[in-house]
């Protein structure tokens, strides 16, 4: 995600600076969202999640606190980066930008304690020119290979998303989650030892309005989240320096954002992202929070099975 895009969507969502109006991002929901809090009983032990985003900074910015929570609760985590992030730097060439963001992606995986990263390497800002089927098949193979239980990604039903990389990734992820369980979808994959495997939990985040039914309390993980965002140094550095240029054009400067130092990046993360999560949390009586459309396992037959099932 680029700086211009973040602030444009942030303003539309009502959490940018003095114009902040909490509640603007959430579509009317029939029931209040479930508040998910940290669980010290390690419910994620033995489970696997995949964070799937076109760009390196999408996950840390919109779901970093939840990623940290799941890892703290015992999950094994993977990061699938769909694009090559060739368009997001301040003054590097395209080739230098690919390499800088690749190194940052490795840093994010290390800082977060994720098990591995898979780069699909499609060209940044061009995913709408790629076959969704091709992306879907690659994801289905990875879901089967890694036995992914839970995914975090962009909401395929989020509104007013202007970046094709975001909505194409979201659509491919959503379809792959259930088709990976079908024995007639790409059966040749089974010959290398993988089996049909469905993804049972989805955490969808969005830049614009979405139907929010899950709010994750990220107060215990906000510092981990800030460190994840800081690992995206090239992208956040681009945001800081572009913001400085924008301020200078208006005859202004924010001393804390001056230069391209780690301190400037940290100050920016606090002002732009930690403050946003604080405003989201305030809507739900929490210190810091992230919002999602959550889709969980299907329990519709549980009662019937309980009443009628026999031991075999
Ligand atoms: Zn993005």
CA 172–ligand 1 middle distance (angstroms):
15
Output the CA–CA distances (angstroms, integers) from residue 166 to 2, 83, 106, 272, in the order listed.
12, 10, 21, 20
Nearest to 2 by CA among 232, 293, 257: 232
CA 258–ligand 1 middle distance (angstroms):
25
Q: Are 230 and 262 in contact (CB under 8 A)?
A: yes
Nearest to 79 by CA among 107, 121, 109: 109
CA 221–ligand 1 middle distance (angstroms):
22
Q: What is the dihedral of CA 140, 144, 148, 150, to 10 degrees?
A: 40
Q: What pLDDT is recorded for position 31?
A: 85
CA 293–ligand 1 middle distance (angstroms):
18
- 3-class secondary structure, 119: strand
CA 254–ligand 1 middle distance (angstroms):
25
Q: What pLDDT is recorded for position 20?
A: 35
Rounded CA separation 173/192 (Å): 22
pLDDT for 19 beyond 80 = no
Residue 273 per-residue DSSP state:
I
192-242 residue pLDDT tens = 999 999 999 999 999 999 999 999 999 999 999 999 999 999 999 999 999
% of the chain exceeding 70 in pLDDT: 90
Q: What pLDDT is recorded for position 259?
A: 82
Query: Which residues keep their CB under 5 angstroms from ion ligand 1?
Result: 1, 55, 58
- 3-class secondary structure, 180: coil
Query: Which residues share a beta bridge with 50?
Result: 78, 151
CA 25–ligand 1 middle distance (angstroms):
18
Q: What pLDDT is recorded for position 60?
A: 98
Q: What pLDDT is recorded for position 53?
A: 98
pLDDT-derived band of residue 278, with 50, 70 and 90 as boundaries?
very high
Output the CA–CA distances (angstroms, integers) from residue 187 to 137, 143, 182, 289, in the order listed.
11, 14, 9, 41
Nearest to 211 by CA among 20, 9, 32: 32
CA 282–ligand 1 middle distance (angstroms):
25
Q: What pLDDT is recorded for position 292?
A: 98
142-184 residue pLDDT tens = 999 999 999 999 999 999 999 999 999 999 999 999 999 999 9
pLDDT for 286 beyond 90 = yes
CA 195–ligand 1 middle distance (angstroms):
31
Q: What pLDDT is recorded for position 108?
A: 98
Mean pLDDT of 30-54: 94
Q: Measured over all CA atoms, what is the biggest interatomic distance in the chain, rounded to whole angstroms?
A: 77
pLDDT for 293 beyond 90 = yes
Rounded CA separation 50/118 (Å): 10
Domains of the chain in start order, with CATH, are 3-26+36-297 (3.40.50.10320)
CA 59–ligand 1 middle distance (angstroms):
9
CA 1–ligand 1 middle distance (angstroms):
3
pLDDT for 27 beyond 60 = yes
Q: What pLDDT is recorded for position 208?
A: 93
Rounded CA separation 29/213 (Å): 7
Q: How confident is the prediction for the chain on average, in pLDDT?
A: 92
Q: What pLDDT is recorded for position 294?
A: 97
Mean pLDDT of 262-268: 96
CA 22–ligand 1 middle distance (angstroms):
23
CA 62–ligand 1 middle distance (angstroms):
10
Output the CA–CA distances (angstroms, integers) from residue 49 to 12, 69, 149, 290, 294, in the order listed.
30, 12, 6, 17, 14
CA 113–ligand 1 middle distance (angstroms):
22
pLDDT for 190 beyond 50 = yes
CA 2–ligand 1 middle distance (angstroms):
7
pLDDT for 17 beyond 80 = no
Length of the chain equals 312
Neighbours of 184 (CB within 10 A): 7
CA 312–ligand 1 middle distance (angstroms):
50
Nearest to 277 by CA among 129, 112, 63, 91: 63
Q: Are 50 and 87 in contact (CB under 8 A)?
A: no
């Amino acid at each position: 995600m680029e700086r211009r895009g973040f602030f444009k969507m942030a303003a539309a969502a009502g959490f940018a600076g003095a114009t902040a109006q909490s509640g603007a991002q959430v579509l009317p929901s029939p029931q209040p969202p479930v508040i998910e809090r940290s669980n010290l009983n390690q419910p994620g032990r033995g489970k696997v999640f995949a964070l799937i985003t076109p760009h390196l900074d999408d996950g840390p910015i919109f779901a970093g606190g939840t990623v940290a929570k799941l890892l703290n609760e015992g999950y094994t985590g993977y990061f699938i980066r769909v694009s090559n992030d060739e368009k997001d730097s301040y003054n590097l060439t395209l080739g230098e930008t690919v390499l800088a963001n690749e190194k940052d992606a490795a840093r994010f995986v290390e800082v977060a304690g994720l098990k591995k990263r898979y780069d699909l390497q499609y060209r940044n800002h061009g995913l709408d020119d790629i076959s969704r089927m091709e992306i879907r098949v690659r994801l289905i193979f990875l879901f089967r290979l890694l036995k992914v239980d839970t995914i975090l990604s962009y909401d395929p039903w989020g509104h007013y998303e202007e970046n094709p990389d975001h909505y194409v990734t979201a659509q491919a992820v959503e379809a792959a989650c259930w088709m990976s369980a079908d024995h007639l979808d790409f059966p040749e994959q089974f010959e290398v030892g993988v089996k049909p495997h469905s993804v049972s939990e989805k955490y969808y985040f969005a830049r614009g309005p979405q139907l929010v039914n899950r709010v994750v309390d990220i107060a215990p993980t906000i510092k981990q989240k800030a460190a994840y965002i800081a690992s995206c140094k090239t992208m956040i550095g681009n945001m800081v320096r572009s913001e400085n240029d924008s301020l200078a054009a208006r005859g202004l400067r924010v001393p804390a954002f001056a230069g391209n130092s780690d301190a400037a990046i940290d100050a920016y993360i606090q002002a732009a992202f930690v403050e946003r999560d604080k405003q989201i949390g305030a809507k739900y009586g929490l210190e810091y929070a992230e919002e999602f459309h959550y889709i969980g396992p299907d329990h519709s037959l549980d009662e019937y099975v309980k009443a009628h099932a026999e031991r075999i």
